[in-house]
Amino acid sequence: MSDFPNKARVVIIGGGVVGTSTLYHLGKKGWTDCVLLEKNELTAGSTWHAAGNVPTFSTSWAIMNMQRYSTELYSRLADEVDYPMNYHVSGSIRLAHSKERMQEFERACSMGRYQGIPMEMWTPEEARARYPFLETHDLMGVLYDPTDGDIDPAQLTQALAKGARDLGQKILRFTPATGVTQHDDGTWTVHTEKGDIACDYVVNAAGYYAQRVGEWFKQYGGRTVPMMVMSHQYLLSEEIPEIEAWSKENGKKLPLLRDVDISYYLRQEKNGFNLGPYEPNCRAHWATADDPMPEDFSFQLWNDDLDRIEDIVTDAMERVPALGTAGVSRVINGPIPYAPDGLPLIGPMPGVKNAFEACVFTFGIAQGGGAGKVAAEWIVDGHTEWDMWAVDPRRYTDYTDHDYCVQKGMEVYGNEYAMHFPHHEWPAARDKKVSPVHARIGELGGVMGVYNGWERANWFAKAGDDTSLEATHTWGRSGPWEQRIREECEAVRDGVGVLDLPGFSRFNLSGDGAAEWLRGMITGGLPKAGRMNLMYFSDDCGRILTEMSCLRHSEDHFTLITAGAAQWHDFELLKNALPAGLSLTDHTTEYGTMIVTGPRSRDLFQAIGTEADLSLPWLSHQPATVAGRPCALARVSFAGELGWEVHCANEHQPAIYDAILAAGAKPFGMYALNALRIEKGYRAWKGDLSTDYSLLEGGLDRFVKLDKPQDFPGKAAILRERQQGVKKRFVTLIVEAGDCDAPYMSCLWHDGQIVGETTSGAWGYRVNASVALGMVRADLAVPGTALEVEIYGQKCRAVVQEDQPLWDPANERLRA
């Protein structure tokens, strides 16, 4: 084949909406020498049969950003690339049957308005006036999103393809990729039946085939792509004269309807309806040995399975009786890939240099536009405009085996529109990673939560406490846990508590020159041997990439400790920059961590028996024995009291934990820790600390040493920002909250304008107040300034506090 391209900057494997959008966006960023390979015709995977709904709704800031961008792109794309297509911006209504659902809508509405989406809350009567076919007697209210709509997925893909081709990109249809080879310099050869293509970067955009394509990358450090495949059906009804008459009279389609508590969408399709249920008794496909994934499923569907969705169809016919007057004209039953949390994988491929993922999309039509932008930014710039941790492939580590993926995928599908309450932990596929004292924690009443696959106690229940999932169906602070969290915090304040923290990410760094290399990576300085400190990593824009605790053992030997969830993210950050001669190893699974903290913690260690020097100051660490077992004691406390972290090999943990309990420590959980840390203004990763903020905005100035000789990433940007001044500033707020504390991304208001957002919020049991951390317009970050924080639709007074911890501002208790 004469015009077969043997070279390309990027090769994208997969020509669905996502691969094509990535190609288009790479071209828009000036990388116009890229190739897309499609094994069949464009759209042959999931894209061709999608219903094409394009919502913006989400309670995740990142996902809403991505979907909002899609709607903005789709509105202009036909003109931009001169390819007409059917995109109907019909608006949508979401129906609320409960107070909690109304609160969720209020929250999304507020986030939407902050992003410039003019969402509105309607009464049932207002909804009925605009949607006369709707039964509203049992509704509490409705969320209206004027930007929602539907698009023809095939036309959208072809439009993106045309735009890409016009920019110079190449699309090879009927050209399956058959494998990849990585060379010593990190570049690739992608193999096809028609020839090889040399390239710098590869993107896996293979939709529901992504796991299969992902296998090729394992020999270069990759892992099994965490995903499974669900069957999703929608029904098209025959035409309905009433709908036709209404549409003619009003000159538009009905808004798209989602009855999220029942779990379906209902859209006007020509003069009938398209009904798409997400049924609880759902069906996974290609998940068992007797149902293998075929070599090729291009443009194929499964047979109808209407029994599964009968109840939902019946409910929809009661909600919109006009639906019941028409027969079913067609059923589409096709494959949708699911990651274990239902969100796609977009970003660097874990473990593999110069490879990226943009796959496993459950809502790829709605997200495709934004996903192309995000993927192209990752590839070209090495970072993204918005913090995209929510979809970063590295959020999953080594626990996502097949069984886990299938169970979680089914759970997410069956609860596609469920509310994600703050005290609710989803029950499927649990106990993937447990601490050596897991059974003991259970005996003590631990109510568990999952952190990077690890089970940790969120709180400790007493006999008679309601630990059912139903009890967690609230956005409120109150619940069976509240009194227990209070008791746990008070024990830490007045006595001593112990928290088992399995899965704290732990890396060992050593080798000649390790210190000097680290100095060039971080924004601040290193501790002396025997001491520890916090270090921050910036991206090139001066934004917060991550935070690690650094324990220095000798000149060139360090233990780096970081958030459980950050394990693969942070390891790769170090590994990808590691010079030859240095050693970096991950010991997360070999060690346990216990936080022992409270004013009586020193007495406790003395009582148990330790030869450690308990007078060593705050931020020191030492090898020690406790209860006759070897461990390390680090004098630090995320709870903000006198305390030590006990780090020990797994086999020693049960003995040490039991001794700590026997000496009188009260076990406490993650909820208490969250309450305790927020009173100290300690930031949490990917809530308060994210690439949505610069280090200077985040108030981390004291961890930035611009006068050091090393030219660390972000230095120039931070210097620039320091000269120009920050736009936002980190603040601690005391909130006159009602029943709920401020969740992440609650809007901050001042003088009728949104001036910032919260990054986390919780009740502080030591200061007896609702506390929020947040980012506010710099001129308002002045102690005493009164703002309002919008919490599930309620505007609550919030006052900016002094720039110091609310609890123990001088850190005297820590230093005691």
Ligand X SMILES: Cc1cc2nc3c(=O)[nH]c(=O)nc-3n(C[C@H](O)[C@H](O)[C@H](O)COP(=O)(O)OP(=O)(O)OC[C@H]3O[C@@H](n4cnc5c(N)ncnc54)[C@H](O)[C@@H]3O)c2cc1C
Task: Find the helix packing angle between 61-81 and 364-381, rounded to 10°.
Answer: 90
Answer for which of 223, 232, 253, 629 binds ligand X (CB under 6 A) is 232
Q: How far apart are CA 610 and CA 624, in angstroms?
A: 7
**Minimum Å distance from CB 41 to ligand X?**
8
**Minimum Å distance from CB 418 to ligand X?**
18
**Minimum Å distance from CB 158 to ligand X?**
13
Answer for which of 62, 142, 180, 213 binds ligand X (CB under 6 A) is 213
Nearer to ligand X, 61 or 216 (CB): 216
Nearer to ligand X, 332 or 532 (CB): 332
Nearer to ligand X, 265 or 744 (CB): 265
Residue 17 in the binding site for ligand X (CB under 6 A): yes
**Minimum Å distance from CB 554 to ligand X?**
49
Looking at residue 779, the DSSP 8-state letter turns out to be: G
Q: How far apart are CA 174 and CA 159, in angstroms?
A: 19
Nearer to ligand X, 178 or 467 (CB): 178
Nearer to ligand X, 277 or 761 (CB): 277
Using CB under 6 A, which of the segments 329-337, 466-474, 592-600, 687-695 binds ligand X?
329-337
- C-alpha dist (Å) from residue 130 to 55, 149, 257, 495, 498: 19, 16, 12, 60, 57
Answer for which of 8, 10, 18, 203 binds ligand X (CB under 6 A) is 18
Using CB under 6 A, which of the segments 239-247, 330-338, 469-477, 762-770 binds ligand X?
330-338
Per DSSP, the chain holds a count of helices (H) and strands (E) of 19, 38
Answer for which of 8, 34, 35, 44 binds ligand X (CB under 6 A) is 44
In the chain, % helix, strand, coil (3-state, to 5) comes to: 30, 30, 40
Q: Pairing relation of β-strands 345-348 and 355-359?
A: antiparallel
State the binding string over 364-403 for ligand X (x if CB under 6 A, else -). Answer: xxx-------------------------------------
Give the three-state DSSP class for 213.
Answer: helix
Answer for which of 8, 10, 11, 14 binds ligand X (CB under 6 A) is 14
Q: How far apart are CA 475 and CA 473, in angstroms?
A: 7
CB within 8 Å of 11: residues ≥ 6 apart = 34, 35, 36, 37, 177, 188, 190, 197, 199, 201, 202, 203
Residues 438-477 that bind ligand X (CB under 6 A): none
Give the three-state DSSP class for 416.
Answer: coil
Answer for which of 25, 39, 373, 715 binds ligand X (CB under 6 A) is 39
- Angle among Cα 528, 556, 568 to the nearest 5 degrees reads 100
Written as one letter, the residue type at 98 is: S
Answer for which of 8, 10, 34, 50 binds ligand X (CB under 6 A) is 50
Q: Rg (Cα) of the chain, in Å, rounded?
A: 27
Contact 332, 319 (CB under 8 A): no
CB within 8 Å of 611: residues ≥ 6 apart = 624, 625
Phi/psi for 403 (5° steps) reads -60, -40
**Minimum Å distance from CB 520 to ligand X?**
38
Q: How far apart are CA 21 and CA 224, in angstroms?
A: 25
Answer for which of 10, 159, 206, 670 binds ligand X (CB under 6 A) is 206
**Minimum Å distance from CB 426 to ligand X?**
21
Q: How far apart are CA 151 and CA 75, in angstroms?
A: 10
**Minimum Å distance from CB 135 to ligand X?**
24
CB within 8 Å of 79: residues ≥ 6 apart = none
Residue 40 in the binding site for ligand X (CB under 6 A): yes
Tokens matching residue 65: 């950003």
Q: Pairing relation of β-strands 141-145 and 92-96?
A: antiparallel
Residue 67 in the binding site for ligand X (CB under 6 A): no
Number of residues that bind ligand X (CB under 6 A): 42
Answer for which of 8, 19, 434, 749 binds ligand X (CB under 6 A) is 19
Using CB under 6 A, which of the segments 40-48, 304-312, 666-674, 754-762 binds ligand X?
40-48
Nearer to ligand X, 16 or 761 (CB): 16
**Minimum Å distance from CB 24 to ligand X?**
12
Tokens matching residue 467: 């630990």
Residue 405 in the binding site for ligand X (CB under 6 A): no
Of 213, 205, 194, the C-alpha closest to 5 is 194
DSSP states along 279-300: -SS--EES-STTSPPPS--TT-
Residue 144 in the binding site for ligand X (CB under 6 A): no
Contact 47, 184 (CB under 8 A): no
**Minimum Å distance from CB 516 to ligand X?**
44
Residues in a beta bridge with 13: 37, 204
Nearer to ligand X, 206 or 545 (CB): 206
Q: How far apart are CA 261 and CA 268, in angstroms?
A: 20
State the binding string over 149-188 for ligand X (x if CB under 6 A, else -). Answer: ---------------------------xx-----------
Phi/psi for 736 (5° steps) reads -85, 70
Nearer to ligand X, 12 or 563 (CB): 12
Using CB under 6 A, which of the segments 80-88, 356-364, 531-539, 548-556 binds ligand X?
356-364
Nearer to ligand X, 293 or 716 (CB): 293
**Minimum Å distance from CB 46 to ligand X?**
4
**Minimum Å distance from CB 86 to ligand X?**
14
Nearer to ligand X, 359 or 406 (CB): 359
Answer for which of 208, 396, 536, 558 binds ligand X (CB under 6 A) is 208
Which regions of 135-215 does DSSP assign to beta strands (E)? 141-145, 150-151, 170-172, 177-182, 188-192, 195-204
Answer for which of 52, 350, 713, 761 binds ligand X (CB under 6 A) is 52
Written as one letter, the residue type at 743 is: P
Using CB under 6 A, which of the segments 8-16, 503-511, 553-561, 604-612 binds ligand X?
8-16
Residue 47 in the binding site for ligand X (CB under 6 A): yes
Using CB under 6 A, which of the segments 17-25, 107-115, 594-602, 615-623 binds ligand X?
17-25
Using CB under 6 A, which of the segments 204-212, 236-244, 382-390, 785-793 binds ligand X?
204-212
- Angle among Cα 432, 437, 440 to the nearest 5 degrees reads 110
Residue 735 in the binding site for ligand X (CB under 6 A): no
- Angle among Cα 40, 43, 48 to the nearest 5 degrees reads 125
Residues in a beta bridge with 143: 94, 121
Residue 361 in the binding site for ligand X (CB under 6 A): yes
DSSP states along 706-732: TTSSS--TTHHHHHHHHHH--SEEEEE
Nearer to ligand X, 303 or 753 (CB): 303
**Minimum Å distance from CB 230 to ligand X?**
8
Answer for which of 103, 147, 169, 362 binds ligand X (CB under 6 A) is 362
Residues that bind ligand X (CB under 6 A): 13-19, 37-40, 44-47, 49-53, 176-177, 205-209, 213, 232, 234, 298, 332, 334-336, 359, 361-366
